[in-house]
Amino acid sequence: EAQVTQNPRYLITVTGKKLTVTCSQNMNHEYMSWYRQDPGLGLRQIYYSMNVEVTDKGDVPEGYKVSRKEKRNFPLILESPSPNQTSLYFCASSLSNAGAGNIQYFGAGTRLSVL
């Protein structure tokens, strides 16, 4: 089954404790991105990757890191989480970033609370 898998689905942590949210897709998609979704602010892109070893900042990259060592995986790293990073996070992948290839397939989401 074609899917994007995120883990964990729920996470409660404390300020400053490094964490990683994993994302994996099995569709051989080139383009992957991370979003956060907050009430009243909608979906905002954190980072994106156009291919292996190619990553770039989205609209709200501060406090986050990513890596793309393999095509299928795109982990999101919070080196020192803070309460303002409490949010619902989505990983998404698409075949490309143009035309019909731009259709996004989302993971089920990770609900993160930073205390």
Partner 1 sequence: RKEVEQDPGPFNVPEGATVAFNCTYSNSASQSFFWYRQDCRKEPKLLMSVYSSGNEDGRFTAQLNRASQYISLLIRDSKLSDSATYLCVVPLDAGNNRKLIWGLGTSLAVNP
Q: Which residue of 15, 28, 84, 102 would you call a contact of partner 1, by CB under 8 A?
A: 102
DSSP string computed for 39-83:
TTTEEEEEEEEEETTEEEE-S--TT-EE--SSSSB--EEESS--G
Instruction: Report yes or no: 76 and 48 within 8 Å, Cβ to Cβ.
Output: no
Listed in sequence order, the DSSP H helices in the chain are none
Q: How far apart are CA 46 and CA 78, in angstroms?
A: 12
In whole angstroms, the minimum distance from the beta carbon of 74 to partner 1 comes to 15
For partner 1, the closer of residues 12 and 14 by Cβ is 12
One of 19, 50, 77, 95 touching partner 1 (CB under 8 A): 50
Q: Among the candidate windows 18-26, 62-70, 75-83, 102-110, which touches partner 1 by CB under 8 A?
A: 102-110
Query: If binding is defined by CB under 8 A, does position 53 make contact with partner 1?
Result: no
The 4-23 site mask, x for binding partner 1 (CB under 8 A), equals: --------------------
Contact between 108 and partner 1 per CB under 8 A: yes
What gap in Å lies between CA 1 and CA 87, rounded to an integer? 28
